[in-house]
Structure 1
Amino acid sequence: MRTKQAITKKLNVPVDLVWDAVRGIGRLDVWFPIIETCQVEGHGAGAVRHMTIVNNGGAIRDTIEEINLLRRRLVYLRPVSPFPVTYYRGTVEVLESYDGLAVVVWTIDFESKPEDAQSVADLVKGAIADGIDGMEKDLTASANAVRA
């Protein structure tokens, strides 16, 4: 069963700072409470991101499919995941609000058995919302440190 789950949040952080962090590919272990480690091999499209889930929850591997600088969009495929999915594609878009702050739209498109679809959608929604909150906290601290 194909399912699409989108999480959107306006951050109190300038759009360029958020986009620079997203296109940097890493730091998911800082932003997401569920991710214990995050290591990146390579740069840009084709780079591979290796992660582990806390409490021996398994391994994740992402392949960066696209980084579109003009549209501020990063797309990744997740061929290795501990979740019950047969396909997983994430798209992170950083939009600019009227006040120059960032609006993050993180969309997950996945395929799973019908009986797993809702639990995966709920897991993804919670984990990504937590990750976006963690990103905002991290980038706010970075911006404040630069100003000090």
Structure 2
Amino acid sequence: MIPVTTVTKDIDAPIGEVWAIVSAWGSEKLWFPNRMRSSLEGFGVGSVRTLTFKPGDFTVSERLEAVDPLAHTLSYALIQNPDHDRAKYPRGSIVLDDLGGARTRFTWSCKASWVDENFKAEFVNMITGMYSEAIDCLGKLLAASEER
């Protein structure tokens, strides 16, 4: 596997609150931007979430591969993606770190077994943008819940 991109951001929320949402595989409607539809088949490791995004109306399916609640980590494999001929076997992983003072470091990484050189820059920009926006949306969601 080769690294594709990593996005790291700090969120003003305790790690338990961040983990409660991130680890709830299938809860992406709460914090994924530009999501039109989503569905979940199964429960826990091995379950598959299918997400359709706009613009472009593209769909991906992701299988949950590992969850470690003590380490606050999870990993998944893209089993259906519109760019399968240009990026082979992409994998994602999320790691949360407790920064203390009700702050959490959110690190989201993508790897793939192969990415077409002519597609690599576009793929990196697309994944980096999606991860960054999703982390920002999660931070805003948790900040809004604190204000209530």
State the AA in 2 paired with 1:85.
A
| 1:54-105 alpha-carbon deviations (Å, 9 max, x no partner) | 1442211000000111110010000101233221100011110032411100
Structure 1 unaligned regions, length at least 5: none
8 Å contact kept, 1:73–1:91: yes
Greater per-residue helix proportion? 1
- Residues 121, 56 of structure 1: alpha-carbon distance in 2 compared, 3 angstrom cutoff: closer
Aligned to 2:90: 88
8 Å contact kept, 2:12–2:102: no
- Rounded Cα–Cα distance in structure 1 between residues aligned with 2:2 and 2:121: 11
Aligned to 1:109: 111
Give the TM-score, by structure 2 length.
0.89
Give the TM-score, by structure 1 length.
0.89
Aligned to 1:49: 49
- How far is the alpha carbon of 1:38 from its aligned partner? 2.0
1:39 has 2:35 as partner: no
Aligned to 2:128: 125
Structure 2 unaligned regions, length at least 5: none
- How far is the alpha carbon of 1:42 from its aligned partner? 2.2
8 Å contact kept, 2:11–2:103: yes
- Rounded Cα–Cα distance in structure 2 between residues aligned with 1:55 and 1:130: 14
What secondary structure sits across from 1:108 in the alignment?
strand
8 Å contact kept, 1:3–1:121: no
- Residues 30, 54 of structure 1: alpha-carbon distance in 2 compared, 3 angstrom cutoff: farther
- Rounded Cα–Cα distance in structure 2 between residues aligned with 1:116 and 1:50: 23
- Rounded Cα–Cα distance in structure 2 between residues aligned with 1:55 and 1:115: 22
Aligned to 2:144: 141
Aligned residues: 145
- Residues 138, 36 of structure 1: alpha-carbon distance in 2 compared, 3 angstrom cutoff: same
8 Å contact kept, 2:11–2:139: yes
Percent identical: 23
What secondary structure sits across from 1:93 in the alignment?
strand
- Rounded Cα–Cα distance in structure 1 between residues aligned with 2:95 and 2:17: 13
- Rounded Cα–Cα distance in structure 2 between residues aligned with 1:144 and 1:44: 31
